[in-house]
Amino acid sequence: MNSKRLMMAICLFGLMWSVPLAGSGNDPAEKVLIFTKTLDYRHESTEVSIVAISKLCEQNGILVDATEDSEWFRPEKLQEYAAIIFLNSSGDVFNKEQQDAFRDYIRGGGGFVGIHGASTTEYEWDWFGRFVGAYFAGHPEPQPATLIVHDTTHISTCKLPHKWTHFEEWYNFRWVDQDFNLLLTVDESTYHGGRHPDHHPISWYKPFEGGRMFYTALGHGEECYADKHFLDHVLGGIFYAIDRSPVD
């Protein structure tokens, strides 16, 4: 990490928010795994984002491991985690045994959070595409646009303004599976380069084969990881994935 990013990461520590945890103080803390392996494009924000999401979890009583090692995807290891966060992963990151381990983890009740580049991962694995709900196709240059909240009651969106202007790399998708619970769309009339003019989903969640899946296409640049609205959104997604309410 260069000095500029290191300083930004340190500054992020003071910007995180926290909420009360559910359950008693004697409850064992959940642990999540941040997975950042990239075999295609690697985001420049990766190091800053790991620090930010780790701190966000830790400030809310959630333990964190982070890895780029696909060998961690074996049944006995995955059992340690309440959820797995694909943080700007990309490419064909798993062999067949690792795919089976991850699928069995979800089917066993595991949680998943996909952030931004997670939809650029495992293009050739049909199950993963149906699980995440979309595959990335391309994007225009990063620019501000207006997000619209469609579910004001979900834990990942209840703190957001109904319309939210955000600077982002706006993903277009090869296809989007509409069999999910919609959280956010982007208004394509507020920026240039969108390819889904009538309906452009950005974030959604769903139960899937026994597990829980949350995805947001937000999270490209370093500035996201110091943005309170974005961090509120991601923390809510993590709480959904680990099946925990932030309040008693």
The pLDDT tens digits for 123-153 are: 999 999 999 999 999 999 999 999 999 999 9
Beta bridge partners of 121: 91
How do residues 7-53 score in pLDDT, each as one tens digit?
344 344 333 333 333 333 334 579 999 999 998 888 899 999 999 99
pLDDT value of residue 245: 77
Strand, coil or helix: 210: coil
d(CA 30, CA 119): 25
Residue 213: per-residue pLDDT: 98
DSSP E strand stretches across the chain: 31-35, 63-67, 83-87, 111-115, 134-138, 143-149, 163-168, 172-176, 181-187, 201-208, 211-216
* Ordered structural domains, the chain, with CATH: 3-13+29-241 (3.40.50.880)
CA dihedral 131→211→78→70, nearest 10 degrees, is: 10
pLDDT for res 23: 34
Which DSSP category does 209 fall into? T
Average pLDDT, rounded, for the chain = 89
Q: Which two tokens stand for residue 37?
A: 């392996």
What's the pLDDT at 28? 52
